[in-house]
Structure 1
Amino acid sequence: MIKVENLHKSFGDTKVLKGISTVFEKGKTNLIIGQSGSGKTVFLKNLVGLFEPEQGFIYYEDKRYQNLTASERRNLRKEMGMVFQGGALFDSMNVEENVKFPLRMFTKLSNTEMKNRVQEVLERVNLKDVNTRFPAEISGGMQKRVSIARAIVNQPKFLFCDEPNSGLDPRTATVIDNLIQELTKEYNITTVINTHDMNSVFEIGEKIVYLQDGNLAWEGTKEEIHHSDNQDLSDFVYSSNLFRKVKKAYQRGL
């Protein structure tokens, strides 16, 4: 569980986050949505510790981040996994070396133990016989699965995903969505996903946080979106004919 209380973040005179409070639940896929400039990326970067808010608090289970020492923050970082928008794989490393990287940073496992753990997570994300291949030699969907394998190799308590479907075709995007949700349930992770993909919202969104101009404008489940009276949320979510049809079908009980 991650609890956020009255979070503020500014850059110079520009206020980006304006007092956000919410809870991201353990064992669920929690999605952050909103238009460009709404504060989604800044919010996520505060959650992973890349930015420091000037006001407010973030709790990781019972740990208040702002009160942790540098050593305690490093230990907390070991409990986090991150899937970056572009995958962020190291081009000069093969797949096995990429996935092994967090183990080298944060553990004292032997090389054999690391190799076994890497193989375990690669098989879990349905990747076989790719250990010695380099990122440029595999497809975009496979690269995202390698990125997910790397994010879970340390068995994190918290998983953060920044636009995990970016650049993927719809079918592959659905595969990635389902994989992230399966891993969230399987390992009982607190998963937070920053996305603009409405397919993801209705496919795996168990809790949705909608940001608007740096404020938390709405939160609820994917089912509750259909009944929301927040017009800005509706305009954003149902901007395409397809999702307007989804809403009508849902309201008719189809």
Structure 2
Amino acid sequence: MIEVRDIRKSFDGKEVLKGISTKYEKGKTNLIIGQSGSGKTVMLKTLLGVHTPDSGQILFDGQDYALLNVEEKREIRTEIGMVFQGSALFDSMNVEENIAFPLKMFTQKSDQDIKIRVQEVIERVNLNGANLKMPSEISGGMQKRVAIARAIVNNPKYLFCDEPNSGLDPKTAIVIDELIQEITHEYQMTTVINTHDMNSVLQIGEHIVFLKNGKLVWTGNSQEIMHTENEDIIDFVYSSDLLKEIRNFHNTKKI
């Protein structure tokens, strides 16, 4: 679990995160949503340690990150897996080599053990037969699977995903959502997903944090978001006529 306590962050005198407190739960898909400029990207980067908060606490399973020494912080970082927007694969490496990269960088595993582990995650994300292909030779959806495999190859406690469906068609995006959720449950990771994809929100939003103007204004899950009376959520999530019809349909069924 990751706990955030009254986090504040400013840039050039402008406060971007305004006293946010929440918990990201283990074994659940925790989503951060909000409009552009809401602070969700800064929030994700602050959790990752890219930005240092001006005040407040970030606790990884009870450990206050700011109070850890250099070695303890390094240990936390080795327990983090990251799926970047656009996958961020190494163009000069094949699928196997991309996935093996964290193991070679951060562990003392033998080449044989690395090969075994890489094959395990290749099978887990359904990439059999693509081992020696280069990123340019596979589809966007397959590239995202490689990125997920690379993120989980070191058995992380914490998985961060930045817009994991960016650039994917709706059908492939659903498959990627389901894969992330399955892996989260299977490995009991604390998964935090920064997204603007409402299909993701409704499909895998087990714990959703909605930010507006740097403040946390709503927390709930995919079922609760369908019936909320929070005007900020309604304006954001149900911006299209189709989604408004879906919401009205669900509310009618509830009645």
Note whether the superposition's TM-score is higher than 0.5.
yes
The answer to whether structure 1 residue 217 and structure 2 residue 217 are counterparts is yes
User: How far did residue 227 of structure 1 move?
Assistant: 2.6
Letter in 2 for 1:85: Q
Please name the residue that 1:112 is paired with: 112
Three-state SS of the structure 2 residue aligned to 1:156 is coil
User: How far did residue 109 of structure 1 move?
Assistant: 0.4
Distance in 2, Cα, partners of 1:240 & 1:203: 17
The CA deviation string for residues 81-136 of structure 1, in whole angstroms up to 9 with x for no partner, is: 00001101111111111100110111110001001100100110000111111111
Please name the residue that 1:26 is paired with: 26
Please name the residue that 1:228 is paired with: 228
Letter in 2 for 1:54: D
User: How far did residue 226 of structure 1 move?
Assistant: 2.4
Matches within 5 A, 1:1-254: 1-253=1-253
TM-score normalized by structure 1?
0.98
Letter in 2 for 1:5: R
Which consecutive aligned stretches of 4+ in structure 1 deviate over 4 angstroms post-superposition? Answer: none
User: How far did residue 229 of structure 1 move?
Assistant: 2.2
Distance in 1, Cα, partners of 2:130 & 2:19: 45
Letter in 2 for 1:149: A
Distance in 2, Cα, partners of 1:238 & 1:229: 12
Distance in 2, Cα, partners of 1:226 & 1:200: 13
The CA deviation string for residues 148-193 of structure 1, in whole angstroms up to 9 with x for no partner, is: 0000000111000000000000000000000000000000011000
Distance in 1, Cα, partners of 2:242 & 2:164: 22
Letter in 2 for 1:70: V
Distance in 2, Cα, partners of 1:185 & 1:241: 33
Distance in 2, Cα, partners of 1:99 & 1:227: 41
Letter in 2 for 1:36: S
TM-score normalized by structure 2?
0.98
Gaps of 5+ in 2: none
The CA deviation string for residues 65-95 of structure 1, in whole angstroms up to 9 with x for no partner, is: 0111111111111111000011011111111
Distance in 2, Cα, partners of 1:182 & 1:249: 28
- Equivalent pairs counted in the alignment come to 254
Three-state SS of the structure 2 residue aligned to 1:7 is strand
Gaps of 5+ in 1: none
Distance in 2, Cα, partners of 1:64 & 1:141: 36
Task: State the identity %.
Answer: 62
Three-state SS of the structure 2 residue aligned to 1:199 is helix
